[in-house]
Structure 1
């Protein structure tokens, strides 16, 4: 049985979605309610927070990159739960201009597809009854999306709350909660979003405070009663071809970004994942037949990686006879060097001749489509892949053979082609700046 669900969304980023989501997950878990979390969109940081708060692995659902069969298969992870909570990305209706696999990437697509009513988080600071006009617009914009109600955030005083509630009554929108201003429950951030869950040493305290905060100011019973969309059975998960049978996976604070559905898919296909830590100067397991360097924050640990001689030599030796693939941060660590924010160059593994710099940051953000020129682990040449790119690195050199022809969501060619280098022993090194989500339908 797949339980009913709700989509936690907002008009924009920075409104308080994650605070409400984590508080609800932790509060419901404390009450003994089993909740399955999902993340709408390509964000690769929030799912780890969801997992910490709920005790269940969280998965991304993306209407631009994933077809309906893959999304339905991922919903099967909610089997045995009592409630589904999905957290949206950006604003509820925000997506790209040209639709992809089964939508434009907006959280509203997933809410409509799954029949989940939306709980809209509204930042009411600086306004009162006027906020109701925003709620009314969200209520009526898409007929296939149902608004369960709103949670008011950053409420200044009881009088302020009363005035906002008056406006909501006028437009027939239910208020499910009102969160007063409280900076101590806000999550610390850095240039790619929230500081990763694995780096939060006081995570249990953060979650406990968020749970108490939300439980005190949100009508959780009313919110649960608004959930809809449960079904009797689910579609079998779509098969994901793993990059190898035994996969050496770089995983630590510098390399933590890999989509949970990919790891789950690899394991479901029978592959064995062998984690290792470049920051601890560990090399890939020699019994592995492929090495995968996840994305992350190598720029914050460039000095440590440069000094990790066992890791760097082990990676170079591995690549002589077997494939090594890197995504974004992993790709940069496979390159010749990284220039940090202070302008200091740090030597990297040197499998590729890529040179990147954070001394002059430039944001690269958006969906990507890739037509492979050559095969990479798990995908043959000419495969068409969909993914997402989000980094601040400037490319100084990307001189190796281009891995793919890459375009954005508007079919505009992207200059960052990824790289490929082959070795005499039969191995190869490849990498891209985008994070793989799915093969194109």
Structure 2
């Protein structure tokens, strides 16, 4: 595959909840409608936003991460845009926000991705409650880091034409380009739940919203100026070709509304290594194909479907039989489903598979969030004991009991150990850790 030097832009903001996702989807849909081949990306660890990108752009969106991904992995993922007219990457949190301790080659900020790729930043400014002061915010961001270029701004949540004029007045003396102004429209707001947006596959109105969002930016933004602001992708030679050892030759992968959190680059890497992915739906009471060599249950929302999962006897009987002779691994939601029981938000306990002893509780939930490094104490499919993996943890489950042997030593971004160790029993393994990339192996 040829390398990607396609021009790109990064859609970022001073803070979360400024409108990055909505504006990114709007641009993807509008540019696609104009006949552009658009390669979407998401900065940082996130499963939900890239699924929306994929529907809007018509091609898979990949995560770019300076903390969890090795530089060779990062460069390989940039190749996904080899045939694109333009790359559009959505930022994470505020533009310069990251962890205090660097990881693979950066601190996980959107700014790291902008500096590495050379893609200019389009800053989405929530100007509600602000006028000329918005220009001062943009100037501060433009001058904060010399290796990050600000192409201009999109004014979001503008209250009226008069308000937009006052905000633009400040920018008239700043030298920072304004690509347009977007008013507040609650009808185009994407619904949310505790881990972020309601999943793209669950929003039946999404196609209509994407059309409306494309109409909005066609009307209110200077799309020609935005496209002209994009710059070619800066590339760095790879020291090696990154490979992902698949968990098996034939991988039974749980895929439905309860199990959808797996990074596209992992599945693509497994396929590139020759693995066959055989999906099955626990919510549809489907067992893993017994001809597969491994079953993998990714994260998702088992807490929202606990009753259906508990009643899925064909799925339960099939995976229990499968686990007698084949490895089974669960990440986060998959780990909870492999456990003994799950207490939902209403306080009702649902019996899970019982392949591990884990008991989790959402009635008294607690946020667990952040980058993690996992050093395996035992093998998981595709990775030997001693392997060091980089990833993250993001869930609200409270652990009531975890009686199994620990699976890994897990540390946060500072290197401090966490209480989460995962669990293992026989051929079954699981943890709350979401893998992004393999770091190294310890002897």
Q: What interval of TM-score do these two structures reach, taking the shorter chain for normalisation?
A: over 0.9
In structure 2, C-alpha distance between the alignment counterparts of 1:237 and 1:382, rounded to whole Å: 22
Q: How far is the alpha carbon of 1:229 from its aligned partner?
A: 2.5
Question: For residues 220-259 of structure 1, what are the structure 2 equivalents within 5 Å?
Answer: 220-230=223-233, 238-259=242-263
- Which residue of the partner structure matches residue 97 of structure 1? 100
1:433 aligns with 2:436: no
1:373 aligns with 2:377: yes
1:299 aligns with 2:313: no
1:22 aligns with 2:25: yes
Q: CA RMSD in A?
A: 1.2
- Which residue of the partner structure matches residue 84 of structure 2? 81
- Which residue of the partner structure matches residue 183 of structure 1? 186
1:271 aligns with 2:275: yes
- 1:326 corresponds to which of 320, 325, 330: 330
In structure 1, C-alpha distance between the alignment counterparts of 2:351 and 2:264, rounded to whole Å: 30
- 1:402 corresponds to which of 400, 406, 418: 406
Q: Render the CA deviation track for 1:6-37: whole Å, top value 9, x for unaligned.
A: 00000111100011100000011111011000
Q: How far is the alpha carbon of 1:265 from its aligned partner?
A: 0.4
> What's the TM-score once normalised by structure 1's chain length?
0.97
> What's the TM-score once normalised by structure 2's chain length?
0.97
Q: Render the CA deviation track for 1:264-300: whole Å, top value 9, x for unaligned.
A: 1001111000000000000000110000001000000
Q: How far is the alpha carbon of 1:177 from its aligned partner?
A: 1.2
Aligned length: 436
In structure 2, C-alpha distance between the alignment counterparts of 1:42 and 1:231, rounded to whole Å: 22
Q: Render the CA deviation track for 1:117-163: whole Å, top value 9, x for unaligned.
A: 00000000001001111101110100000000000000011111111
Question: For residues 96-115 of structure 1, what are the structure 2 equivalents within 5 Å?
Answer: 96-115=99-118
Give the conservation status (yes or no) of the 8 Å contact 2:116–2:234. Answer: no
Question: For residues 79-228 of structure 1, what are the structure 2 equivalents within 5 Å?
Answer: 79-228=82-231
Q: Secondary structure at the match of 2:45?
A: coil
- Which residue of the partner structure matches residue 7 of structure 1? 10
Q: Secondary structure at the match of 1:279?
A: helix
In structure 2, C-alpha distance between the alignment counterparts of 1:345 and 1:214, rounded to whole Å: 47
- Which residue of the partner structure matches residue 284 of structure 1? 288
In structure 2, C-alpha distance between the alignment counterparts of 1:411 and 1:228, rounded to whole Å: 36
Q: How far is the alpha carbon of 1:2 from its aligned partner?
A: 2.6
C-alpha change, 1:108 and 1:30, in structure 2 (3 Å) is same
Moved over 3 A (4+): 230-237
Structure 1 unmatched ranges of 5 or more: 423-427
Q: Secondary structure at the match of 2:305?
A: helix
Structure 2 unmatched ranges of 5 or more: none
Give the conservation status (yes or no) of the 8 Å contact 1:76–1:234. Answer: no
Give the conservation status (yes or no) of the 8 Å contact 1:73–1:234. Answer: no
Give the conservation status (yes or no) of the 8 Å contact 1:3–1:231. Answer: no
Q: Render the CA deviation track for 1:371-404: whole Å, top value 9, x for unaligned.
A: 1001110000000011111100000001100000
Q: Render the CA deviation track for 1:234-292: whole Å, top value 9, x for unaligned.
A: 86862111111100000000000000100110011110000000000000001100000
In structure 1, C-alpha distance between the alignment counterparts of 2:321 and 2:140, rounded to whole Å: 59
Give the conservation status (yes or no) of the 8 Å contact 1:74–1:237. Answer: no
Deviates more, 1:89-98 or 1:237-246: 237-246
Give the conservation status (yes or no) of the 8 Å contact 2:117–2:234. Answer: no
- 1:418 corresponds to which of 410, 417, 422: 422
Q: How far is the alpha carbon of 1:231 from its aligned partner?
A: 6.0
In structure 2, C-alpha distance between the alignment counterparts of 1:389 and 1:92, rounded to whole Å: 21
In structure 1, C-alpha distance between the alignment counterparts of 2:251 and 2:180, rounded to whole Å: 46
Q: Secondary structure at the match of 1:215?
A: helix
In structure 2, C-alpha distance between the alignment counterparts of 1:417 and 1:231, rounded to whole Å: 39
- Which residue of the partner structure matches residue 62 of structure 2? 59
Give the conservation status (yes or no) of the 8 Å contact 2:18–2:126. Answer: yes
1:47 aligns with 2:50: yes
C-alpha change, 1:272 and 1:234, in structure 2 (3 Å) is farther
1:308 aligns with 2:312: yes
